Structure 1
Amino acid sequence: MFSWYRQVSQGERYTFWACFGGWALDALDVQMFSLVIPAIIAEWGISKTQAGLVSGVTLVASALGGWICGAAADRYGRVKTLQVTVIFFSVFTLLSAFAQNYPQFIVLKALQGFGFGGEWAAGAVLMAETIRNEHRGKAMGAVQSAWAVGWGAAVLLYAAVFSFMSPDMGWRVMFAIGILPALLIIYIRRNVKEPVAPASKAAVAKGTKERTPLLSIFAPDVLRMTLIGGLLGVGAHGGYSALTTWLPTYLKTERHLSVLSTGGYLAVIIAAFFFGCLAASQLLDRIGRRQTILFFSVCCVATVIVYLFVPLSNHAMLALGFPLGFFAAGIPASMGALFNELYPRGTRGTGVGFCYNFGRVVSAGFPVMVGHLAAKYSLGFAIGVDAAFAYAIVAVSVMMLPETRGRTLTEDVAV
């Protein structure tokens, strides 16, 4: 499974671990919120809909960050943009710990989201252009497994902090620890090199026909890819957000699990997510990008329906948590390779940043809809409806995209 790692250069390995560390620390910061929703609701007396709005606003901001910072990566370079965005989201995660009320918190979370979205866009293009063609799918799928590492770290931190501190203090301590990703800058500056020189003005003009960088992805030759890629992003992020934002609250309030028991259930899903990313990384270079995403999206729909609509015992839910996490991992693990291969070099950062993060704009409504539906129906029903619908969108949209396996990223023509 990891034989490819021995075949790549030291520079490729440095880049892999820089992106792996970045995404793990991203996950640590981002997943904190879903774990502390009950504490924040209790402290400020907000509704579930308002709590869902925080997640929604963060997703919208991250979409803008991905699009804008993706364009910055095309103009100023992947590595420089990566460093700036890591610092940005780390600082605003820390500042979130000091929010005094709901309006302050939502603004700080939005700024954190902007940095997070930008970091993914810059890192994804950096990885795609650094790793050789025959191993791109395996490397990018494997690096996505870092999300499970950071998610697991967030759950462990949650269990430790909330076991020894009151909820009103515990959630603030967790966000304060979110400054840690800033330390990654030291590693990046020392070891990671720019894979492609930032496009000159002449090159940009030649490659994009004098297009405005942010709007170059809407040119006729790539417009179809942009629209369908954005739709795929909507489904992928919508399903993931509906599940991960509200699942800890569902386990605690409707399944009546303790902090430690909730952590145990999440641990199964997180471990499965890790292995799901590794499985997808192998399938991407064997059966292709389209078939891999289609397989995981169909399995996601089926698993979500069983997990949230079929009456299950706590033990059965624990067991089913593994396929739930496993199949949910395959889609995000596959999108980085696919999106990078849809665009020519001059607009790649912008295109990847938009497609992956545009989904966050529309998907921002999914956690809010869950909170709204939960006011009339059960929280489990609300999560299940939203997540199943979102993953069905993924299955439909990926069938409209071309297979891009094996594409050389030095090409300057769109597929």
Structure 2
Amino acid sequence: MSRTQPHEQTQQRNDRQTHDEKPLDTGVFAWLRALGPRGRRAFAGAFGGYALDSYDFFTLPLSMVAIAAYFALDKGQTGLLTTVTLVVSAIGGALAGVLADRIGRVKALMITVATYAFFTVLCGFAPNYETLLVFRALQGLGFGGEWAVGAILVAEYASAKHRGRTLGGVQSAWAAGWALAVIVYTLVFRFVDADTAWRVMFWTGALPALLVVYVRRNVEDAPQAAEVRRTGAGRGSFTTVLTPPLLRTTLFAVLLSTGVQGGYYTLATWVPTFLKTERGLTVVGTGGYLTFLISGAFLGYLTGGLLTDLLGRKRNIALFAVLSAVCILVYTHVPEGANTLILFLGFPLGFCMSAIFSGFGSFLAELYPTAARGTGQGFTYNTGRAVGAVFPTLVGFLAESWGVGGALVFGAVGYALAVLALLGLPETRGRELV
């Protein structure tokens, strides 16, 4: 018997304990304990990456009024800034998924974070609208890939029983990054002239560079994914997910992503403008109203993560698709002068439109085998994001005649598409990743 065998046996027992949830299956944070030490470091890296991804994204919607005034843009042009980000993010997300299968989840995560941080900073130096449009499009390359790669990384550490709430925890990072962006925005626009403040907002997008250092030093791929890549099974190919037997799954997953993200990005892009231009709120007032929206979003992510484990992936998405559509209709039809009511309605709106996302990370991961998981999740989520990106631009053009509030109702159409897409997808709750 070799000297290394006792050590190997001990390591194997430790690895089994890392993924064995039975001794840790109690308490509110059982899902976090069940990840094990390496899984928790992966969770921290994915959470931080997605929070800063959110922060960099929201630098644009929050600064949109100032940017439009600086470059003398109409609503269609300002909406195009968001749309081009989301369209290009489809390319970035799809490529990141392939990279995740070919070079590993962690390396792909670092590449995506560095990319979106770099081009966000460059946006702050844009001398004209055309240059800003190009930089924002290139920012989408990293923005599109980060979520898919981070979600896969954590999903492969999580147990089947807790996967929904674990990925819901990662998803809640979006609200954390959004909140941070609103805080910085409120301070910057209070103390800096608007013509410079929007540039400062983009320059603060350099923050994610610090996360890359953490991920490089502390995070590694889950053993199963690393083994698949070592054996050469994880080559990362679009052909795999666009031909039978995965073709049907891919098509319906794209439709699902299109509907949910079309509705979400319509709201994320235009609610700040709606509050300012049609409700007459100040910068500080807008920040206060967004506090309710973001608080609801954070709790929605966590609650949705729990419900996706209890009710199932499909039921959770269907439930909150319907509730999100109802919230849009109510939120945008509050009578003039009832701004206090809008303040409180922001909470359920943020809750519902966020809870629907909580099951996405686990659902998409469970639809694909390990060798094609990065490609499948990256392609479906981000293709849906690109098609759904048409919604903010349509709202921008419709707002010229309907008003921003009236045009926002178009976002409810996206949620109807999501419900239809669920009819073509299987329920995956409790499915082991293979």
Matches within 5 A, 1:167-316: 167-195=194-222, 196-197=225-226, 199=229, 202-204=232-234, 213-311=237-335, 313-316=338-341
Structure 1 counterpart of 2:348, from 303, 309, 323? 323
The question of 1:368 aligning with 2:398 is answered: no
Residues 169-216 of structure 1, C-alpha deviation per residue, up to 9 Å, x if partnerless? Answer: 0010010010100110111112111112262575258xxxxxx81221
Question: For the structure 1 residues 12 and 200, does the alpha-carbon distance in structure 2 shift closer, same or farther, using more than 3 Å as the test?
Answer: closer
The question of 1:30 aligning with 2:60 is answered: no
Residues 272-293 of structure 1, C-alpha deviation per residue, up to 9 Å, x if partnerless? Answer: 0000001011111111101111
**Consecutive aligned runs of 4 or more in structure 1 exceeding 3 Å deviation:** none
Q: Which residue of 1 aligns with 2:130?
A: 103
Q: Which residue of 2 aligns with 1:132?
A: 159
Maintained 8 Å contact 1:245/1:367: yes
Structure 1 counterpart of 2:362, from 334, 337, 361? 337
The question of 1:151 aligning with 2:159 is answered: no
**Letter of the structure 1 residue corresponding to residue 260 of structure 2:** A
Q: Which residue of 2 aligns with 1:378?
A: 403
Q: Distance in 1 between matches of 2:30 and 2:291?
A: 28
Q: Secondary structure of the equivalent of 1:309?
A: coil
Q: Distance in 2 between matches of 1:289 and 1:237?
A: 17
Q: Which residue of 2 aligns with 1:402?
A: 426
| Structure 1 portions without partners, runs of 5+ | 206-211, 411-415
Q: Which residue of 2 aligns with 1:209?
A: none
Residues 23-74 of structure 1, C-alpha deviation per residue, up to 9 Å, x if partnerless? Answer: 1111110011001111111111111101101110000111111111101111
**Letter of the structure 1 residue corresponding to residue 333 of structure 2:** F
| Structure 2 portions without partners, runs of 5+ | 1-27
Q: Distance in 2 between matches of 1:200 and 1:187?
A: 24
Q: How many residues end up aligned between the 2 structures?
A: 403
Residues 311-357 of structure 1, C-alpha deviation per residue, up to 9 Å, x if partnerless? Answer: 26111111111110000011222111100111111111010001111
Of stretches 301-310 and 173-182 in structure 1, the one that deviates more from structure 2 is 301-310
The question of 1:71 aligning with 2:91 is answered: no
Q: Secondary structure of the equivalent of 2:284?
A: helix
**Letter of the structure 2 residue corresponding to residue 233 of structure 1:** S
Maintained 8 Å contact 2:82/2:389: yes
Q: Secondary structure of the equivalent of 1:219?
A: coil
**Letter of the structure 1 residue corresponding to residue 229 of structure 2:** A
**TM-score, with length taken from structure 2:** 0.91
**Letter of the structure 2 residue corresponding to residue 360 of structure 1:** R
Q: Secondary structure of the equivalent of 2:259?
A: helix
Q: Distance in 1 between matches of 2:67 and 2:356?
A: 30
Q: Distance in 2 between matches of 1:235 and 1:104?
A: 30
Q: Which residue of 1 aligns with 2:24?
A: none
The question of 1:19 aligning with 2:46 is answered: yes
Cα deviation for residue 159 of structure 1 reads 0.5
Cα deviation for residue 132 of structure 1 reads 2.0
**Which protein has the larger Cα radius of gyration, Structure 1 or Structure 2?**
2
Structure 2 counterpart of 1:54, from 66, 77, 81? 81
